[in-house]
Amino acid sequence: MQSKIVLLPGDGIGPEVVHQAQRVLETIAKRFGHQLQFSEHLIGGIAIDATGDALPDATTVACKSADAILLGAVGGPKWDDPNAKTRPEAGLLKIRKELGLFANLRPIVTFDELLDSSPLKREIIEGTDILFYRELTGGLYFGPSGLEELADGQQRAFSTAVYTTSEVERIVRMAALAAQKRRNKLTMVDKANVLEASRLWRRVSARIMKEEFPSIEYDVVLVDSMAMHLLSRPTSFDVVVTSNMFGDILTDEASMLPGSLGMLPSASLGSDGPGLYEPIHGSAPDIAGKGIANPLATILASAMLLRHSLGLEAEAAAIESAVKAVLAAGHRTADLVRKGQPSLGTVAITEHVLAALSV
């Protein structure tokens, strides 16, 4: 199989972790007999420095003709001036829009070897394996909003949650298809007791599930209850689908379960075209250039890329098993050990992943 992959290393530790994930992809391609063609393009602060634009046209063109995109991270203090004409994050928002990426996937998986790094008790989180589908291009963050001055000197502000039937249908369908390949369970999270937009979600989602996925175990949970259930019974969820803002908050809450930012990948997908894969952490300017960044989230993002954009399930699973084997053998980067404990750098831990892949 021949595929084109665009690498967008970005800023801070982005290039360090993306280049290690590239080595892993090259190794897996060799082992399974695939041809992956890589090209590297600018996004974020580094793109602003080079071109004045956080997402140069050349990057957009390359991404549109790729099979998949692997992104590091964007941003850093150098580009934080609030009066600047553009910011690195503008590149991220624009690429999502250009590629029509309406679904954000975030797997929340705890690794047995890292259970003690979690702020929650081992017996609660052990065995957690949730896949979130967050709607990414609608709802409260994109609906009409405004700010007006009132006659009595106050200001009045509003933001509106807007969804259409088809926007709900496409993400519920995508999440249900994923549930079929996992434990056949889907939870839809809303606030239908208060919000009209949530009532649309509830009706549309129930219809899709009844008509198209009758064998999936389906339930609905109110978002405020979900915030509690995630901390009290995370192992009872399989695939969770929800709207933009609820997903934003719940996935950040859930990201604390595994205990380290350096272990969590994510993907953004549209109905066709390339998917965008990235670690959930940022550019970590405090450790950039030191060679100590944990590359495992980006390596796990590359596994998601193989699974969701290239349809290579066995290859994806091989990477995930290799990461587990490396942790089981006791190898850790600095973010996964107590201060002062011995740890491996970015390249050294990747070498162990490569070795585990070659077994």
CB-hemisphere CA count at 13 Å for 74?
A: 27
Cβ 11 to ligand NAD shortest distance, Å:
7
CB of 179 to ligand NAD, least distance (A): 26
Residue with Cβ nearer ligand NAD (128 or 346): 346
Tell whether residue 294 is a contact of ligand NAD (CB under 6 A). Answer: yes
d(C-alpha 13, C-alpha 292), whole Å: 9
- Active-site annotation holder among 133, 191, 238, 335: 191
253-272 residues near ligand NAD, rule: CB under 6 A: 261-262
Report in angstroms how near the CB of residue 302 gets to ligand NAD at its nearest.
14
User: Pick from 286, 337, 348, 358: which binds ligand NAD (CB under 6 A)?
Assistant: 286
Q: Is 30 in the active site? A: no
64 is known as an active-site residue? no
Q: Which of these segments, 50-58, 124-132, 238-246, 282-290, binds ligand NAD (CB under 6 A)?
A: 282-290
* C-alpha triplet 277, 280, 283: angle, nearest 5°: 100
Q: Which distant-in-sequence residues (6+ apart) come within 8 Å of 59 by Cβ?
A: 6, 8, 41, 42, 43, 47, 91, 95
Judged by CB under 6 A, the chain residues 324 through 343 that form the site for ligand NAD are 335
Q: Which of 19, 41, 134, 281 binds ligand NAD (CB under 6 A)?
A: 281
- Is 129 a known active-site residue? no
Cα dist from 92 to 1, 71, 123, 275, whole Å: 29, 10, 37, 13
CB of 255 to ligand NAD, least distance (A): 10
AA letter at 227: A
Does position 301 bind ligand NAD by CB under 6 A? no
Cβ at position 356, least distance to ligand NAD in Å: 19
- Cβ pair 87, 10 in contact under 8 A: no
Determine which one of 80, 112, 219, 252 is catalytic.
252
Of residues 192 and 336, the one with the C-beta less far from ligand NAD: 336
Question: Per residue in 100-132, is it b (16+ CB within 10 Å) or e — as a string?
Answer: ebbbbbbbbbbbebbbebbebeeebbeebebbb
- Interaction between residue 275 and ligand NAD (CB under 6 A): no
Q: Which residues contact 315 (CB under 8 A, 6 or more apart)?
A: 28, 32, 34, 303, 306
Tell me which residue of 175, 270, 263 sits closest to 213, measured CA to CA: 175
Q: Does 282 engage in binding with ligand NAD (CB under 6 A)?
A: yes
Look up residue 147 and give its two tokens: 């700010």
Select from 241, 293, 300, 305 the one that contacts ligand NAD (CB under 6 A).
293
Closest separation in Å from C-beta 185 to ligand NAD:
29
Tell whether residue 186 is a contact of ligand NAD (CB under 6 A): no
Question: Is the Cβ of residue 167 or residue 335 nearer to ligand NAD in the bound state?
Answer: 335
191 is catalytic: yes
Residue 249 lies near ligand NAD (rule: CB under 6 A): no
Q: Positive or negative, the Cα torsion across 230, 109, 217, 223?
A: positive
Tell me, residue by residue from 66 to 105, as one string, x for binding to ligand NAD by CB under 6 A and - for no binding: -------xxxx-----------------------------
| Residues tagged active-site | 141, 191, 224, 248, 252
The residues of the shown chain that bind ligand NAD, judged by CB under 6 A, are 13, 17, 73-76, 261-262, 278, 281-287, 293-294, 297, 335
